[in-house]
Amino acid sequence: MDPAQTAALAANTVTDMSMWGLFMQADIIVKTVMAALALASFWCWAIIFDKWFRLRGLVQRAEQFEEAFWSGGSLEELYDRIGSRPQDPMTAIFVAAMREWRRSAAKGMADREAVRLSLPQRIDRVMQVTMGREMEQLEARMGFLASVGSTAPFIGLFGTVWGIMNSFHHIGQTKNTSLAVVAPGIAEALFATALGLVAAIPAVLAYNKLSTDLDRYAKRLEAFAGEFGAILSRQLEEKV
């Protein structure tokens, strides 16, 4: 079959220009890029929804706990009511500090002056360690959003460049620059870039929003830890 017949056959062939059709007709390298971007986008959305719902729940629990904490009731009773299984970072900080407080009280405070000097520091250290551990868990997988947001457009661009190279190679083989011959390959290539943007844009926006919310929540925990530490210090001074 000569080049003219090949071009005529290609022009008469109906090309599926749907997203699935573009994926199935693409080169194996472009298919790999598309599949990787689609999976990355799916995982990003899973992380986004998980973080959003979790932060929303934690803020509500923090408000409920602070309401009970500042109600004027006994801290010992609040600690006994929460138990040894805190449900959120703020109650975890409270439980860790109260556990250290009770441990010192159980020793009878034999050396009252040493306890007065060392106990506030130990309580503050315990609260900081607990807060760091809880925030580390909350910030897990945030790096994946940042990575996808920064690399997905370039991965999609790689698929586009590879697809356009294949299109030019096809043009060289058929000796035909007809749009009907070139369009499918270019469409497949541009589809890879589109997938890269589809993965990157939500990842960047969600990362910025979630990072801001996490920073705000961390400052709320720091404020509570500072206020609670001051309360325990005053109670210690009254006992000593």
Percent of the chain with pLDDT over 70: 76
> In which residue are the tokens 């010192």 written?
104
Q: What is the pLDDT of residue 218?
A: 95
Measured in whole angstroms, the distance separating CA 143 from the mean position of its chain's CA atoms is 7
Q: Kindly tell me if the per-residue pLDDT of 154 is higher than 60.
A: yes
Q: Kindly tell me if the per-residue pLDDT of 227 is higher than 80.
A: yes
The mean pLDDT of 174-189, rounded to a whole number, is 66
Nearest to 37 by CA among 202, 198, 230, 181: 198
Find out whether 13 and 110 touch, Cβ atoms under 8 Å: no
Give the model's confidence band at 163: pLDDT under 50 very low, under 70 low, under 90 confident, else very high.
Answer: confident
Selected residue with higher pLDDT from 64 and 25: 64
Q: What is the pLDDT of residue 103?
A: 78
The mean pLDDT of 32-39, rounded to a whole number, is 90
pLDDT tens digits for range 85-115? 788 999 999 999 988 888 776 665 545 554 5
The mean of the pLDDT values for the chain is: 81
Selected residue with higher pLDDT from 162 and 9: 162
SS (H, E, C) 131-165: HHHHHHHHCCCHHHHHHHHHHHHHHHHHHHHHHHH
Q: What is the pLDDT of residue 225?
A: 92
Find out whether 203 and 44 touch, Cβ atoms under 8 Å: yes
Q: Which helix (H) or strand (E) holds 101?
A: helix 89-106
Q: Kindly tell me if the per-residue pLDDT of 56 is higher than 50.
A: yes
User: 107: buried, middle or exposed (CB in 10 Å: 19+, 13-18, 0-12)?
Assistant: exposed
- In the three-class reduction of DSSP (H, G, I as helix; E, B as strand; rest coil), residue 27 is classed as coil
